[in-house]
Amino acid sequence: MKRRNFVKSTLLGSMTTALGIDIAFGAVMPEGYTPLALQDPDPFKMFDKDPQMVVLNDKPWNMEAQAHLLDDKITPNKYMFIRNNGKIPETIDVDNWTLGFDGESVKQQKTYTLNELKTNFKQYTYQLTLECGGNGRSEFDPPAKGNQWTIGAVSCATWTGVRLKDVLEDVGIKDNAVYIGYHAADTHLSGDPSKEPISRGVPIAKALQDETLIAFKMNGKDIPLAHGYPLRLIVGGWPASASGKWLNRISIRNKVHDGPKMTGTAYRVPCKPVAPGEKVKDEDMCIIESMPVKSLITYPKSGATIKKGSSFNIRGHAWAGELEVSKVEYSIDFGSTWKTCQLEAPANRLAWQHFKASIEFPQQGYYEVWARATDSNNIAQPMLLPGWNPKGYLNNACHRIAVKVS
Ligand SMILES: Nc1nc2c(c(=O)[nH]1)N[C@H]1C(S)=C(S)[C@@H](COP(=O)(O)O)O[C@H]1N2
Ligand SMILES: [Mo]
């Protein structure tokens, strides 16, 4: 067989596999042609997501939830946002997957197989809130480049894995360790194999917290491919960008990790407030650590209509980075007065907390229900967009829903 025909029949074969059915007239399909069904994959089917999820970008894939989709106490995969900086790895060789440890501050380099990680260390399960640092970016003015997240880049799933601190103890780290940095198997959009799409990390103290996991299960099952199968770092309460997916190496650094997306305006904000649109010097930018206090009304869906006199219940979740949420309040008069919601304790540290309230409306008409959470340091959510920053991070303004009482 000539090379050309060989390539063509191999391609036909892989297309047939992808489509799950033979391509009729495949032999006369023009060379280099991609069948429509493969040009436009259905992202909801591909990632097992609910069709109400909103696709923000397909190169790379980024998808967010809507508030009412996040009503579950523990976020199921179908409603979990996807944030990718590069290309999802195409093939995962799970049988030969390893996690390496290196860097200036390891006592010796070490590599573990998946099986060694699972069997040599005690396993823990926690509910952990992951919010993209750019959640809420769409409201910034002047606008910030990047995915225009509204409110749906947050989740709280159950993660199972081993503690990073237990593994680090086994590896042995030097006294001069200050930071960890992750490395992963996703590839750069440019196709350049020498470039990592993202390689972020956290200070050693955060890495050594009990809840910082090297996870291999989400909600009791293998982690879905889009969320980091077969292994990911989970660092609850910090920008979710610290939670490296498709994890295959961790560097223990004697300085602040300097991988892609650790510097410049990436996941950094002005150390001191600046005017909207102001240019900020590199040395005046600080790495985002704990995420700010925030809440979401997940029931009812904005736009609900009710009959005057019938009972009206709202519910949702609140979270506060490293801290606990101490109270959640609601207002039906555009923030003039506030009433307290019932608030549950977190399932564990760094899990979001559930709130609910029963509301009485004084008369018919259009209302907005606003929710406002306060953290254990007594810092409350702002009612409007807080501190402008070049990349539009950390918008924790109050969430609101519209209600018509007839
Ligand atoms: N390897 C790798 N890890 C990654 C990313 C990525 O692009 N590649 N994106 C990060 C960012 S910016 C976020 S917000 C979270 C999103 O996690 P999720 O897609 O599971 O919701 O993953 C983080 N971990
Ligand atoms: Mo992110």
Omega before residue 142 within 30° of 0, cis: yes
Tell me the C-alpha distance between 231 and 162, whole Å.
11
Rounded distance from Cα 61 to ligand 1 centre (Å): 11
Q: Which residue has the tokens 């007594």?
A: 378
Q: Which architecture, in CATH terms, is 294-405?
A: Sandwich (2.60)
* Distance from the alpha carbon of residue 241 to the mean position of ligand 1, in angstroms: 5
Give the C-alpha separation, 184 to 201, whole Å. 12
**CA count, 13 A, side-chain hemisphere, 234:** 33
Token digits for 358? 């029963």
- Cα–Cα distance for residue pair 93/393, rounded to 1 Å: 35
Q: How far is Cα 297 from Cα 372, in angstroms, rounded to an integer?
A: 10
DSSP readout, 351-405?
A: --EEEEEEE--SSSEEEEEEEEEEETTSPBPPSS-----TT-----PPEEEEEEE
Which residues belong to CATH 3.90.420.10 in the chain?
A: 77-287
Please tell me the predicted confidence (pLDDT) of residue 7.
59
Burial of 132 (0-12, 13-18, 19+ CB in 10 A): buried
The amino acid sitting at 171 is V
Provide the pLDDT for residue 92. 93
The answer to whether the beta carbons of residues 241 and 133 sit under 8 Å apart is yes
Kindly give the parts of the chain with pLDDT less than 50: none
Query: Which pLDDT belongs to residue 2?
Result: 62
| Ligand 1 atom closest to 155 (CA) | 21
Between CA 391 and CA 149 the distance in angstroms is 12
Contacts of 120 (CB under 8 A, 6+ apart): 112, 170
262 secondary structure, DSSP code:
S
> Which of 198, 213, 291 for a ligand 1 pocket mutation test, highest count of atoms within 8 Å of Cβ?
198
Quote the ligand 2 centre to 110 CA distance (angstroms).
29
Per-residue model confidence (pLDDT) at position 403: 97
Ligand 1 atom at shortest distance from the alpha carbon of 133: 14
What's the whole-number average pLDDT of the chain?
Answer: 95
* Cβ(297)–Cβ(349) below 8 Å: no
Domain with CATH 2.60.40.650 in the chain: 294-405
Task: Check: CB of residue 247 under 8 Å from CB of residue 198.
Answer: no
Could you say which of 3.40.50.300, 3.40.50.150, 1.10.10.10, 3.90.420.10 is the CATH number of the domain covering 77-287? 3.90.420.10
pLDDT at position 3, please?
57
DSSP 3-state assignment of 78? helix
Residue entry with tokens 């480049």:
145
